[in-house]
Amino acid sequence: AQSVAQPEDQVNVAEGNPLTVKCTYSVSGNPYLFWYVQYPNRGLQFLLKYITGDNLVKGSYGFEAEFNKSQTSFHLKKPSALVSDSALYFCAVRDPSFSGGYNKLIFGAGTRLAVHP
Amino acid sequence: DGGITQSPKYLFRKEGQNVTLSCEQNLNHDAMYWYRQDPGQGLRLIYYSQIVNDFQKGDIAEGYSVSREKKESFPLTVTSAQKNPTAFYLCASSMWAGETGEQYFGPGTRLTVT
């Protein structure tokens, strides 16, 4: 079965330090991977995606993610965290059993990032 | 949240009442989706629609219904058959060539049923 795991419920980091939010996936075939961010009582905002090509993907707000096929991981990273980065982060993978224009996503449970001043 | 509106932001209902959540998009996207979000869980797909007058059940469709009479609109009705309707509901859309495209989300509606 297709699945996404975010092993950490919460990540704490000091402002200015690098941050990593972990994501591993299990999907048949080539994975299409996404990261979204959610601020309190708001919808999800798209950060970045991996479809093919370079394993290091750059996205919005200085975030990047590294695709590692052998480890089936897609960790989100940022070189220097800001307090304003504090939010809930979701990793998602496209469900390959869907086709025809749909993009059914399988979401992880989310990781709460807390950046302390 | 740009391009997708959901209303109302907060909704309170008594148990046993049906309630309809609005979702409108001006992105000219073909596909639209409804998700349910509960604390500590990822988003779960309720219904999705590719074109007008066509929609399919997602993973947790029981107790919900939808319609797609216009490309821009995809309202969700939470019926009295839904056993645990209190949740945060998110609407999303994506382009037709959406197999690799990201979904765009609305701001959500928080439904509380007592």
Residue B62 has pLDDT above 70, yes or no: yes
Q: Which two tokens mark A100?
A: 């025809």
**One-letter amino acid of B62:** E
- Give the pLDDT of residue A1: 76
Cα(A75)–Cα(A103) distance, rounded to whole angstroms?
Answer: 21
Q: Which two tokens mark B42?
A: 């990822």
A60 — phi, psi (to 5°)?
A: -75, 155
Cβ B1–A45 below 8 Å, yes or no?
yes
Q: How far is B16 from chain A (nearest CA, A)?
A: 26
Mean pLDDT for chain A overall: 92
**Confidence tier at B76 by pLDDT (50, 70, 90):** very high
A68 forms beta bridges with A73
CATH number at residue A54: 2.60.40.10
State the average pLDDT over residues B54-68.
Answer: 95
pLDDT-above-90 percentage for chain B: 75
Residue A37 has pLDDT above 70, yes or no: yes
- C-alpha of B107 from chain center: 11
Number of folded domains that form chain A: 1
Cα(A58)–Cα(A61) distance, rounded to whole angstroms?
Answer: 9
Q: Which two tokens mark A105?
A: 């996503």
Cβ(B4)–Cβ(B27) under 8 Å? yes
B41 touches A: beta carbon within 8 Å = yes
Q: List chain B residues with CB under 8 Å of A44.
A: 43, 90, 92, 105
State the average pLDDT over residues A3-10.
Answer: 95
- Give the pLDDT of residue B101: 73
Query: Domain containing A83: what range?
Result: 3-116
A31 touches B: beta carbon within 8 Å = no
- Give the pLDDT of residue B90: 96
Q: How many helices (H) and strands (E) does chain B have?
A: 0, 11
Cα(B93)–Cα(B3) distance, rounded to whole angstroms?
Answer: 10
Cβ A103–B1 below 8 Å, yes or no?
no
Of B41, B90, B94, the CB nearest to A103: B94
Cα(A73)–Cα(A71) distance, rounded to whole angstroms?
Answer: 5
Cβ A43–B1 below 8 Å, yes or no?
yes
- Tens-digit pLDDT profile for residues A45-93: 999 999 888 999 999 999 999 999 999 999 999 999 999 999 999 999 9
Q: How many CA atoms lie within 13 A of B82 on its CB side?
A: 27
Cβ B103–A109 below 8 Å, yes or no?
no
State the average pLDDT over residues A87-106.
Answer: 82
Q: How far is A108 from chain B (nearest CA, A)?
A: 5
Residue B98 has pLDDT above 60, yes or no: no
Q: Which two tokens mark B114?
A: 């007592």
The three-point CA angle B25-B72-B35 to 5° equals 60
Cα(B55)–Cα(B53) distance, rounded to whole angstroms?
Answer: 7
**Confidence tier at B88 by pLDDT (50, 70, 90):** very high
- Max Cα distance, chain A (Å): 46
A25 touches B: beta carbon within 8 Å = no
User: For residue B73, which of B97, B46, B55, B98 has the smallest C-alpha distance?
Assistant: B55
Cβ(B19)–Cβ(B78) under 8 Å? yes
Cα(B49)–Cα(A102) distance, rounded to whole angstroms?
Answer: 8
Q: List chain B residues with CB under 8 Å of A30.
A: none
Instruction: Find the radius of gyration of the CA atoms of chain B.
Output: 13
